[in-house]
């Protein structure tokens, strides 16, 4: 084989190997589609799980600590009528609170649950008769199984 013929064959061969074939591109698209189909459901479920965890943290730590501080200063929890607002502003209604030393929340405003609604507070509680009931109505906004609360820990 002459050098010229070898060079021509080599140039022709490399011209055809420069790009991807349609089958190769389709195979890559299918593989990406399968990976997306496997990953996306896991990611979407995590956002709801993160909201539930945030609500649990507010109820079991942030608001609970603020309510306990209120209790230490005033020898009682805020009434249901005073609500959680008593943690950020001295209540004007109800019993006089001369020992109120708030605001009891660091940010000086009431947090809303991760779904954008107010937390539900009731003192003395139906479930926690000696203290208070504190809950979030969850994603659906009505009392149901998806609620996050301080009486069904480990739910």
CATH of residue 96: 3.30.700.10
Helices vs. strands in the chain: H and E counts, helices first: 3, 3
C-alpha radius of gyration, the chain, whole number: 31
Residue 1 lies in a domain: no
Residue 6 lies in a domain: no
What gap in Å lies between CA 69 and CA 22, rounded to an integer? 68
Residue 38 lies in a domain: yes
pLDDT in the model for residue 145: 83
pLDDT in the model for residue 78: 92
What gap in Å lies between CA 148 and CA 154, rounded to an integer? 10
Considering its fold, how many domains does the chain have in total? Answer: 1
Residue 47 lies in a domain: yes
pLDDT in the model for residue 133: 93
pLDDT in the model for residue 67: 93
Which residues of the chain fall below pLDDT 70? 1-19, 41-45, 93-95, 153-155
Please give the residue range of the domain that contains residue 35: 21-149
pLDDT in the model for residue 2: 59
What gap in Å lies between CA 27 and CA 117, rounded to an integer? 47
Residue 9 lies in a domain: no
Residue 65 lies in a domain: yes
Residue 45 lies in a domain: yes
Residue 124 lies in a domain: yes
What gap in Å lies between CA 124 and CA 143, rounded to an integer? 19
């Amino acid at each position: 084989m002459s050098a010229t013929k070898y060079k021509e064959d080599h140039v022709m061969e490399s011209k055809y190997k420069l790009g991807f074939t349609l089958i190769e591109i389709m195979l890559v698209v299918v593989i990406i589609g399968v990976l997306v189909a496997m990953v996306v459901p896991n990611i979407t479920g995590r956002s709801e799980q993160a909201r539930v965890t945030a609500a649990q943290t507010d109820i079991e730590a942030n608001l609970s600590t603020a309510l306990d501080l209120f209790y230490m200063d005033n020898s009682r929890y805020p009434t249901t009528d005073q609500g959680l607002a008593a943690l950020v502003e001295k209540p004007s209604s109800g019993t006089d609170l001369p020992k109120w030393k708030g605001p009891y929340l660091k940010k000086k405003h009431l947090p809303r649950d991760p779904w954008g609604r107010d937390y539900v507070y009731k003192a003395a509680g139906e479930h926690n008769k000696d203290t208070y009931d504190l809950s979030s109505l969850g994603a659906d906004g009505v009392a149901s199984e998806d609620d996050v609360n301080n009486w069904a820990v480990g739910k």
